[in-house]
């Protein structure tokens, strides 16, 4: 990865929900262009755009029907080029989301694939004969039901690990891989600086396509997650596209362990620059079930994030640092406080994440502490995954209140409700009816109101982003955890040869007292307070009394 990227913080935009310029209720490219000065003011170094390619929108754009065209929902190719130019003028790079595991069944390739059996496009998809009049195997879709759909007029089936309208691509086909490489080159030549690669570790499947006798919620996973030719395929596109064109890559990797991440991101392997690891996103899953609610396991959260810091540093890999995205609830609602301490908890969560080693990702609205929308009934949700979960669990006889508790807390729509810009009608998102309901807090909690506050979350984020640019320790300092099992506090160092940054955070809404670790007392002394979410935070000595969600960053020097 180009070293210059290490100074940059990435801001994720979900275009459909960011800013609508034409009043149709759907965010668009010209809406994004109108907010480039806002993003420049925040200090972001890159923008990641979720898919804006032509799509029937069965899965909100992750079902691509034309890789080369912008969907009219969002604007035109010229609008996109204007966005790239405007971003680059402000030293903001553009990262496009790209789905290489599957296409929409509306894609020209898929439509041509089944006109005749020897059509070359049939090889672009995974097609298998049925067995005894049933599906080729017992693999299940992530969205529910079989992962196989029967082809009309044939005894064959095509694979879809997600919706039946999202047909999996056959990466064993060299002609397909060439097509995908050519397409990526096309966008890079238009000015795209990087790609976020959706579910990229699913592209290689076990070619025996065996039944899965594993007792898990989604049979088949072990035969395609980190499949047999994954590393070979990634090295191939790295050689063709990523390295020659100096393209940043971040892979979304399902169920990836830190050991998997090392193989995928080690510089010598020449595959990906970094991955999105989801392990820390499961610390509030009850018995591994995302839709069953439990309190966050704070000790587990610290352990997971620390493990990734240590292991990636040891092997030369690079972490993606994130709390939220378009598939996750909003962090202030999930791990912080929606009420009295929303601002304090938003700043605390930002601090502990942005002071870690890696590239931070901010999800739209996170920079002013935007909470979950507060939807309460299934009619308010649009997400296909949430609607399928609701249907399946109702059929299993689970109580409505139990189902809705999980959906309201974990639905992807929590991150997809429209951006809350101001308190006007439409909340600055659209002059029309939004495609999904505005959040209940929009008139009070919005970007405009937060920007007016000197102690607002936005201004705090701005300081964090500036520290990444100016403080080498934030980028390169060694991570050292200073406590092991404190039930409330996370304390760590970012250590250099002569200096270190000390980060302390209370993760809860109750006061606590933290004894400074002997390892720190024996080796360091504080020279200044760099950042804190309470204005009157004092420099600690042997103890630090921490208020609700209090956090601080101190500069330290090593004792002689």
Sign of CA dihedral 539, 544, 545, 549: positive
Q: Which residues of 516-548 are buried (b: 16+ CB within 10 A; e: fewer)?
A: bbeebeeebebeeebbbbbeebeebeeebebbb
Q: What is the largest CA-CA distance in the chain?
A: 80
148-150 vs 551-558, strand pairing mode = unpaired
311-321: burial string, b at 16+ Cβ within 10 Å, e else: bbbebebbbbb
Positions of the chain with pLDDT lower than 50, given as ranges: none
Q: What is the pLDDT of residue 542?
A: 84
Strands 46-49 and 10-13: parallel
pLDDT for the residue numbered 144: 87
Q: Which of 198, 273, 367, 550 is flagged as catalytic? A: 198
DSSP helix/strand/coil, 420: coil
Report pLDDT for 541.
83
Write down the pLDDT at residue 521.
Answer: 84
252 has catalytic annotation: yes
Please give the pLDDT value at position 493. 97
Q: What are the structure tokens assigned to 59, written together?
A: 């899965």
Of 165, 252, 327, 550, the catalytic one is 252
What tokens were used for 286? 């009850």
pLDDT at 550: 98
Phi, psi of 421 (to 5 degrees): -85, -40
pTM of the model: 0.95
At 12 the pLDDT is 98
Asked if 325 and 252 count as a contact pair (C-beta separation under 8 A), the reply is no
pLDDT in tens, 217-239: 799 999 999 999 999 999 999 99
Task: Count CA atoms closer than 13 A to 201's CA, side-chain side.
Answer: 24
């Amino acid at each position: 990865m180009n070293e210059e990227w290490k100074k940059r913080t990435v801001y994720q935009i979900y275009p459909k929900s960011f800013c609508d310029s034409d009043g149709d209720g759907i965010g668009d490219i010209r809406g994004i262009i109108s907010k480039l000065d806002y993003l420049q003011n925040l200090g972001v170094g890159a923008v990641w755009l979720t898919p804006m390619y032509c799509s029937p929108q069965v899965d909100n754009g992750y079902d691509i029907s034309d890789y080369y065209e912008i969907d009219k929902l969002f604007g035109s190719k010229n609008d996109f080029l204007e966005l790239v130019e405007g971003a680059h003028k402000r030293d903001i790079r553009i990262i496009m989301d790209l789905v290489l595991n599957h296409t929409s069944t509306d894609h020209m390739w898929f439509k041509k694939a089944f006109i005749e059996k020897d059509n070359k496009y049939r090889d672009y998809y995974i097609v298998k004969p049925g067995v005894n009049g049933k599906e080729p195997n017992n693999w299940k879709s992530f969205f529910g039901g079989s992962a196989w759909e029967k082809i009309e007029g044939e005894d064959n089936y095509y694979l879809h690990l997600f919706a039946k309208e999202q047909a999996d691509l056959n990466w064993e086909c060299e002609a397909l891989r060439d097509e995908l490489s050519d397409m990526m080159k096309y966008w890079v030549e238009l000015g795209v600086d990087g790609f976020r690669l959706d579910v990229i570790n699913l592209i290689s499947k076990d070619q025996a396509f065996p039944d899965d006798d594993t007792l898990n919620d989604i049979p088949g996973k072990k035969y395609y997650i980190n499949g047999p030719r994954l590393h070979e395929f990634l090295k191939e596109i790295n050689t063709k596209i990523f390295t020659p064109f100096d393209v940043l890559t971040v892979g979304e990797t399902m169920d990836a362990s830190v050991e998997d991440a090392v193989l995928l991101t080690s510089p010598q392997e020449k595959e990906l620059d970094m991955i999105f690891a989801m392990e820390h996103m499961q610390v509030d899953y009850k018995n591994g079930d995302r839709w069953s609610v439990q309190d966050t396991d704070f000790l587990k959260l610290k352990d997971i994030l620390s493990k990734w810091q240590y292991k990636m540093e040891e092997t030369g890999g690079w972490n993606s640092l994130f709390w939220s995205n378009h598939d996750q609830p909003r962090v202030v609602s999930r791990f912080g406080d929606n009420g009295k301490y929303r601002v304090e908890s938003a700043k605390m969560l930002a601090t502990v994440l942005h002071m870690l080693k890696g590239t931070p990702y901010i999800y739209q609205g996170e920079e002013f502490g935007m909470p979950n929308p507060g939807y309460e009934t299934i009619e308010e949700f649009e997400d296909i995954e949430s609607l399928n979960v609701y249907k399946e669990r109702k059929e299993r006889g689970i109580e409505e209140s139990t189902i809705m508790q999980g959906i309201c807390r974990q639905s992807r729509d929590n991150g997809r409700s429209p951006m809350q810009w101001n308190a006007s009608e439409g909340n600055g998102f659209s002059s029309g009816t939004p495609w999904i309901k505005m959040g209940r807090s929009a008139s009070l909690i919005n970007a405009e109101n937060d920007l007016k506050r000197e102690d607002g979350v936005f201004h705090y984020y701005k300081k964090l982003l500036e520290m990444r640019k100016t403080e080498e320790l934030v980028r390169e300092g060694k991570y050292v955890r200073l406590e092991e099992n404190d039930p409330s506090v996370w304390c760590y160092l970012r250590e250099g040869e002569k200096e270190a940054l000390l980060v302390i955070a209370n993760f809860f809404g109750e006061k606590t007292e933290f004894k400074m670790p002997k390892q720190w007392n024996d080796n360091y002394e504080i020279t200044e307070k760099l950042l804190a979410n309470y204005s009157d935070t004092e420099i600690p000595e042997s103890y630090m009394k921490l208020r609700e969600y209090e956090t601080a960053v101190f500069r330290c020097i090593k004792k002689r």
